[in-house]
Each structure stands twice: as C-alpha cells, then as structure tokens.
Structure 1
C-alpha cells in the first residue's frame, strides 16, 4: 500500500515524518482528485472503443490509407459506413489478426 502512496505522493517518501503532521481538508481533496484522475486513465486504457474510425485503425495497425482501403475492398476488414464516415469494429480487427496469425515453424 505504501508503494502506491509513494507513487502518487512523492512527498510521502519518509512516512515517519508525516505521522505527526495534520491533514487538512485541502490535502484530502487533492488526494481524491489524484485518485479519480488515475482511475479514469486506467479505465480508459483497459476498455478500448468498440468502433474505430479509419485514422484510428491506420494508427493501430500502422498501415497506410491505401492498405486500409485494400483491406476493405478485398473483404478482409468489414466496416460500417454512416454518412461519409467509415467505422471498424475493434473486436472484428482482433479476430482478423488472430485468423491471419502465421506460425513461424510453417513455410509461408
């Protein structure tokens, strides 16, 4: 527990010194704000978006716009188009990646 506190509050490096210090309401509010911020960051990292735009898919897979277009045209990646915006299912992208996994012991 103390390691987590030290990460959030570097000033708590020497906890013995803090035993005799008074904690104010402002101290508690600051601590609460830091914890809430950390929880928001953690929850965003753990739960990817369900639908990704083309720019997000290109960044995720590190591919060019032309490659993404080819994956759409040849049916490798399914998509949904609403207005002029194309969306890709994150789950579908993971499935495609798993289905196309190459065993390094087999010849390509």
Structure 2
C-alpha cells in the first residue's frame, strides 16, 4: 500500500469540491424536498457514517428533534450547515 501526503491546499480544494458535489446532489434531486429528514436520509444525503452524524449532534453542530426515539433533522439546517462549511 502506497502512502501519499497531501498538502493543506490540496485538502482545502478537495473539501470545496466535495461540498459543491453535495450541494449539486441536493439541487439535482427531482423529488420534492421534505422539511424533516430521518437519520438514515441525512447520512445518505451527506455521505457520512452514523458515528459522524452522532458527533454532529453531540457537538451541537446539527440541530435535531427526537420524537419517539427517532431523530429528525430540519432540511434547512442541513443546507445552512453546508453553507457554513463552504464559506470556511
């Protein structure tokens, strides 16, 4: 296995490209946008693991509502989070 070392600039470029792809995927989805998404939908949308989503909840980065043991996330909060990440 070969190890490659990336520069900070390369990582920032990758981050920017990834955010753009996620935003494009959100925009190109022809189905109507739901106001509230379940954890599995958020993980699929953001392409993150359940552990990463849990960390976003614990750190207060992504607000949520818990109803009957099910976590729900506002679509607008996800869009806002992506915008904040893209601007940093």
How much is the aligned-residue C-alpha RMSD, in angstroms? Answer: 1.7
Give the TM-score normalised by the residue count of structure 1: 0.52
Larger Rg: 1
Return the match for 2:44 from 53, 59, 82: 59
How many Å apart are 1:47 and its aligned residue? 2.3
How many residues align? The count is 60
* Structure 1 residue 73 corresponds to structure 2 residue 20: no
Unaligned runs of 5+ in 1: 1-43, 104-108
Q: State the alpha-carbon separation in 2 of the partners of residues 82 and 55 from structure 1.
A: 15
Q: What is residue 93 of structure 1 aligned with on the other side?
A: 78
Q: State the alpha-carbon separation in 2 of the partners of residues 91 and 46 from structure 1.
A: 16
Give the TM-score normalised by the residue count of structure 2: 0.63
Unaligned runs of 5+ in 2: 1-28
How many Å apart are 1:46 and its aligned residue? 4.9
Q: State the alpha-carbon separation in 1 of the partners of residues 84 and 38 from structure 2.
A: 22
